[in-house]
Chain A
Amino acid sequence: MNDIQSYLAVASILFSLGVFTVITRRNAIAILMGIELILNAANINFIAFNRFGGMERLDGHIFAIFVIVLAAAEAAVALAIIINLFKNIGTVDVDQAKELRG
Chain B
Amino acid sequence: MDNNLIILSLFILFLPLLSFISLLIVGKRLGEKSHFIALSIIGLTFIFSAYIFYNIIIKHYHPVSVSIDWISSTSINIPLGIYIDGVTSIMLCVVSLISSLVHLYSTEYMKGDKRYTRYFAFLGLFTFSMNGIILADSLIMMYLFWELVGLSSFLLIGFWFEKDSAANASKKAFLTNRVGDIGMFIGMMIIFYHTKTFQLHAIPGLVSDMSSEILTCAGLLIFMGAVGKSAQFPLHIWLPDAMEGPTPVSALIHAATMVAAGVYMTIRIFAFLTVDALAVISVIGAITAMMAAIIAITRNDIKAVLAYSTISQLGYMIMGLGVGAYVAGFFHLVTHAMFKACLFLCSGSVIHAMHHSLHKLDDHDTNPQDMNNMGGLMYKMPITFACMLIATFAIAGVPLFSGFLSKDAILAGTLAYYHAHHGWTIIIPLAGFGAALITAFYMFRLIFLTFAGNPKNEKIHSNVHESPKAMTTPLIILSILSFAFIFTLPNINPLSDNGWFEHSLHETKLVDTHHHNLNINSEHPRLVIQHFDKNYNLNEVEHHIHDQHDQAMFLSLLVAFIGILLSSLFYFFNKFSIEKATYFMKKVGLFNLSRRKFYIDSIYNNIIYKPFLWFCSLASRLDWNIYDQTFIDSIGRRTLDLSDRSVKADYDWLDQKIVDGSARLVEYFNNKLKHTQSGIIQNYLMAGILGIVIIALLFQQI
Contacts and interface: CB of A to CB of B under 8 A. Distances in A.
B686 A101 contact: no
A89 B158 CA distance: 97
Contacts of B677: 102
B677 to A, nearest CB: 8
A101 B674 CA distance: 13
Give the contact-size bracket for chain A: under 10
B679 A101 contact: yes
B679 A23 contact: no
Given A24-B682, A98-B679, A102-B677, 10 more contacts: A19-B685, A19-B689, A23-B682, A23-B685, A23-B686, A23-B689, A94-B681, A94-B682, A95-B680, A102-B679
A22 interface: yes
Interface string A90-102: 0000110010011
A101 B679 CA distance: 6
Contacts of A19: 685, 689
Contacts of B685: 19, 22-23
B509 to A, nearest CB: 121
Nearest to B683: A23
A23 B681 CA distance: 8
A contact face: mostly helix, strand, loop, or mixed: loop
A94 B686 CA distance: 15
Contacts of A23: 682, 685-686, 689
Interface string B394-420: 000000000000000000000000000
Interface string A1-44: 00000000000000000010011100000000000000000000
Interface string B670-688: 0000000101111001100
B contact face: mostly helix, strand, loop, or mixed: helix
Contacts of A95: 680
Interface in B654-697: 677, 679-682, 685-686, 689
17 contacts: A19-B685, A19-B689, A22-B682, A22-B685, A23-B682, A23-B685, A23-B686, A23-B689, A24-B682, A94-B680, A94-B681, A94-B682, A95-B680, A98-B679, A101-B679, A102-B677, A102-B679
Contacts of B689: 19, 23
Interface of A: 19, 22-24, 94-95, 98, 101-102
Nearest to B692: A19
A19 B692 CA distance: 12
Contacts of A94: 680-682
Contacts of B681: 94
Contacts of A22: 682, 685
Give the contact-size bracket for chain B: under 10
Max count, chain A CB within 10 A of own CB: residue among B682, B685, B686, B689 = B682
Contacts of A102: 677, 679
Nearest to A95: B680
Contacts of A101: 679
Instruction: Rank and list the top 4 A-B pairs by shortest CB-CB distance, nearest first.
Output: A101-B679, A23-B682, A23-B686, A23-B685
B178 to A, nearest CB: 84
B678 to A, nearest CB: 9
A15 B15 CA distance: 116
A11 to B, nearest CB: 16
A98 B680 CA distance: 8
A87 to B, nearest CB: 20
A22 to B, nearest CB: 6
Interface string B354-370: 00000000000000000
B627 to A, nearest CB: 66
A24 B682 CA distance: 7
Nearest to B677: A102
Nearest to A19: B689
A95 B685 CA distance: 14
A80 to B, nearest CB: 18
Contacts of A24: 682
Nearest to A24: B682
Nearest to A25: B682
Contacts of B686: 23
B602 to A, nearest CB: 95
Nearest to B686: A23
A97 B439 CA distance: 123
B679 to A, nearest CB: 4
Nearest to B685: A23
A94 B678 CA distance: 13
A94 B685 CA distance: 14
A56 B677 CA distance: 48
Nearest to A101: B679
A35 B682 CA distance: 12
A101 B685 CA distance: 16
Contacts of B679: 98, 101-102
A23 B686 CA distance: 6
A95 B679 CA distance: 9
Nearest to B681: A94
A98 B682 CA distance: 13
A22 B680 CA distance: 12
